[in-house]
Amino acid sequence: MGGGFDFAVLIRNAPFLWGGMVLTLQLTALAVTGGLALGLVLAVLRLSRIPFAPALVAGYVNFLRSMPLILAIFWFYTLIPKLTGQSVSSFYSVLIAFILFEAAYYSEIIRAGISSVRRGQIAAALALGLSNAQAMRYVVLPQAIRNMIPVLLTQSIVMLQDTSLVYVVGLRDFLTTADIVAGRDSRPVELYMFVALTFLVVCFSASRLVNRLRRRYAL
Amino acid sequence: MIELKNVSKWYGEFRVLDDCSMRIAKGEVVVICGPSGSGKSTLIKCMNGLEPFTRGEVTIDGISVGAPDTQLPRLRARIGMVFQNFELFPHMSAAANINLAQLKVLGRDRATAQAKTDELLARMGLADHATKFPAQLSGGQQQRVAIARALAMDPIAMLFDEPTSALDPEMITEVLDVMVGLADEGMTMAVVTHEMGFARKVAHRVVFMDEGAIIEDASTAAFFGTPRSERAQQFLSKILQH
Ligand SMILES: Nc1ncnc2c1ncn2[C@@H]1O[C@H](COP(=O)(O)OP(=O)(O)OP(=O)(O)O)[C@@H](O)[C@H]1O
Ligand SMILES: [Mg+2]
């Protein structure tokens, strides 16, 4: 046990902790990318006039948003092998759960972003002869994305923090590895301080990066 | 060139357009005026299919706007439109605004598009403003960029929906001058405006609307001489007092 702080514990366990960090970052990056892509499709469908599409999407979004994330993780962990008849690694089942779950949240953010673009902008784009898809891509989405970046960032940080739930299916993300080390080496204070600090640095750099991107596209 | 036949439009129970018929011949300038809410914007947006209508027919150069098999984007690309609030794309420079549809709709290569853009910006007196964003331009400058953006498509006709009513008085002239220039070159134009000086100077005909109907469609001289309808007379006397 011993008193005082022993930060050498971090160095001794660096490879193990790094492994957890890699899993967390991979999962976050893939889930954010997949969630945004699916969320965009859902948002466009929900704003479309395709028969039944808006209602179906609304049902999907409301269903997933009423579900605790941890339930979605359990659900896909048991459901996917049953549906496909094959065993799927816990990583992929968790990834799919995250993507489907996050997409519900992202689609609402994207929908609000798209709706925030003035209608006259679409009229101007169409009047120039752009197709609906081109108007979306070149005129509406660039403005919508700029409006929704802060909220998307917040949602993605929540997502990063939520990756720690994957311990329930036996995956070792960053927080889980830190937790294991904390218990094994009886150094909870050092480990949890380290985790908090790391999350702070990651989130801070993410928001700096986003601000940089935003400035590049901003007026 | 542009022909409306018995066009009507309802919003539920509310009749926005009431059996409107009019023709704009090639090279003709037609001013559309009328009280607020009379359906002027709706009418002009029917001309390029931005606004669907319930009944009647709109044709451009013989092509029906409302027909389900009409390629609306292709048709719209040939008709320029200028809006009250400019509607420049705020995330693009002035030049990029003018380039966009040339590149994406007409498929011009970048050099050709840019040459056209530079030529139009120079003609609008905006050569020094190519790289500025809309928010960095005055209202009058923005509207001239918007006109250049429409002209870049080499349109066969131009539609204007109150192009000067969002502008400060000192900027109205610079936009009207550009429009007079266009009219002098023989551009076919439909212009919703309350600028009666402009109408007198360049319009061949004036159309007066009230409550969704075309009340009067007369040559400019006849309209300003003795408008036949009482409502047009009232409207004119009100507007000319200001
Ligand atoms: N989406 C809509 N639903 C219901 N009513 C509408 C809608 N859009 C317009 N209107 C109504 O249709 C009428 C005509 O509108 P329009 O914009 O064409 O008039 P306008 O002559 O251009 O007026 P203004 O001079 O104010 O621009 C107005 O009474 C307006 O309230
Ligand atoms: Mg109007």
pLDDT of amino acid A210: 79
Q: Tell me the mean pLDDT in the region A141-157.
A: 86
| pLDDT class of B178 with cuts at 50, 70, 90 | very high
pLDDT of amino acid A10: 84
Question: CA A160, CA A86: separation in Å to the nearest integer?
Answer: 28
Most confident of A178-187, B172-181, B225-234: B172-181
Q: What is the CATH number of the domain that holds A71?
A: 1.10.3720.10
Q: Which two structure tokens, joined as six digits, stand for B99?
A: 């380039």
Residue B66 CA, ligand 2 centroid: distance in Å: 21
User: What percentage of chain A has pLDDT greater than the value 70?
Assistant: 97
pLDDT of residue A2 exceeding 60: no
Q: β-pairing, B63-64 with B79-82? A: unpaired
Does any CB of chain B come closer than 8 Å to the CB of residue A146? yes
Q: Tell me the mean pLDDT in the region B17-34.
A: 95
pLDDT higher for A6 or B209?
B209
pLDDT of amino acid B232: 85
Which chain A residue has its CA at the smallest distance from B101's CA? Answer: A128
Query: B187: how many CB neighbours lie within 10 A of its CB?
Result: 19
Does a structural domain hold residue A210?
no
pLDDT of residue A93 exceeding 90: no
Q: Which of A120, A134, A217 sits opposite B91 (nearest CB)?
A: A217
Does a structural domain hold residue A127?
yes
Residue contact B48–A127, C-beta within 8 A: yes
Question: CA A77, CA A172: separation in Å to the nearest integer?
Answer: 15
Q: Tell me the mean pLDDT in the region A117-145.
A: 94
Report the pocket of ligand 1 as residue ranges, CB < 6 Å. Answer: B 11, 14, 16, 34, 36-42
Residue A169 CA: distances (Å) to CA of A133, A161, A164, A166, A204: 41, 16, 11, 6, 29
pLDDT of amino acid B242: 59
The reported pTM is 0.83
Does a structural domain hold residue A18?
no
Question: CA A163, CA A198: separation in Å to the nearest integer?
Answer: 14
Cα radius of gyration rounded to whole Å, chain B: 18
User: How many folded domains does chain A comprise?
Assistant: 1
Q: Tell me the mean pLDDT in the region B188-209.
A: 94
CB A166 within 8 A of CB A2: no
Mean pLDDT for chain A? 88
The 8-class DSSP code of residue B8 comes to E
Q: Is A171 exposed, middle or buried (0-12, 13-18, 19+ CB in 10 A)?
A: buried
Residue contact B136–A124, C-beta within 8 A: no
User: What percentage of chain B has pLDDT greater than the value 70?
Assistant: 99
Q: Which two structure tokens, joined as six digits, stand for A7?
A: 């930060």
Q: β-pairing, B189-192 with B29-33? A: parallel
| pLDDT class of B113 with cuts at 50, 70, 90 | very high
Tokens 């801070």 found at: A204
Residue contact A131–B73, C-beta within 8 A: yes
Question: CA B93, CA B88: separation in Å to the nearest integer?
Answer: 9
Does a structural domain hold residue A97?
yes
Residue contact A130–B81, C-beta within 8 A: no
SS (H, E, C) A193-208: HHHHHHHHHHHHHHHH
Residue B3 C-alpha, separation from nearest chain A C-alpha, in angstroms: 18
pLDDT of residue B211 exceeding 80: yes
Q: Which of A126, A138, A142 sits opposite B104 (nearest CB)?
A: A138
Residue B146 C-alpha, separation from nearest chain A C-alpha, in angstroms: 9
Q: What is the ipTM of this complex?
A: 0.94
Q: Tell me the mean pLDDT in the region A86-110.
A: 90
For residue B85, the chain A residues in CB contact (below 8 A) are 120
Residue B192 CA, ligand 2 centroid: distance in Å: 8
Mean pLDDT for chain B? 93
| pLDDT class of A3 with cuts at 50, 70, 90 | low
Does a structural domain hold residue A27?
yes
Does a structural domain hold residue A1?
no
Question: CA A79, CA A73: separation in Å to the nearest integer?
Answer: 10
Q: Which two structure tokens, joined as six digits, stand for A211?
A: 């601000």
Q: Ligand 1 atom 2: the closest Cα is on which residue?
A: B11
User: Which residues fall within 8 angstroms of residue A5, CB to CB, at 6 or more apart?
Assistant: A189, A190
State which ligand 1 atom lies nearest to the alpha carbon of B12: 4
Residue B16 CA, ligand 1 centroid: distance in Å: 7
| pLDDT class of A1 with cuts at 50, 70, 90 | very low
Question: CA A209, CA A204: separation in Å to the nearest integer?
Answer: 9
pLDDT of amino acid A219: 39
CB A69 within 8 A of CB A101: yes
Is residue B14 classed as helix, strand or coil in its secondary structure?
A: strand
Which amino acid is it at B126? L
pLDDT of residue A74 exceeding 90: no
Q: Which residues of A142-159 are buried (b: 16+ CB within 10 A; e: fewer)?
A: bbbbbbbbebbbebbbeb
Residue B229 CA: distances (Å) to CA of B41, B207, B210, B214, B216: 21, 12, 11, 11, 7
User: What percentage of chain A has pLDDT greater than the value 90?
Assistant: 46
CB A150 within 8 A of CB A119: no
pLDDT of amino acid B93: 96
pLDDT of amino acid A187: 85
pLDDT tens sequence across B44-81: 999 999 999 999 999 999 999 988 888 999 999 999 99
Is residue B192 classed as helix, strand or coil in its secondary structure?
A: strand
Q: Which two structure tokens, joined as six digits, stand for A149?
A: 């970046």
pLDDT of amino acid A138: 95
Does a structural domain hold residue A167?
yes
Probe residue for ligand 1, chosen from B41, B47, B51, B210 as the CB with the greatest number of ligand atoms within 8 Å: B41
Q: Tell me the mean pLDDT in the region B173-198.
A: 95
Residue B33 CA, ligand 2 centroid: distance in Å: 10
Host domain of residue A121: 23-173
For residue B76, the chain A residues in CB contact (below 8 A) are 126-129
CB A155 within 8 A of CB A102: yes
pLDDT of residue A196 exceeding 80: yes
Q: Which of B45, B77, B133 sits opposite A128 (nearest CB)?
A: B77
Question: CA A128, CA A122: separation in Å to the nearest integer?
Answer: 10
Does a structural domain hold residue A110?
yes
Does any CB of chain B come closer than 8 Å to the CB of residue A138? yes
CB B16 within 8 A of CB B133: no
User: What percentage of chain B has pLDDT greater than the value 90?
Assistant: 87
> Which residues, by Cβ under 5 Å, contact ligand 2, an ion?
B 41
Among A73-87, A141-155, B57-71, name the one with the lowest average pLDDT: A73-87
Chain centroid to Cα A75, Å, comes to 18
Among A35-39, A123-127, A170-174, B148-152, name the one with the lowest average pLDDT: A170-174
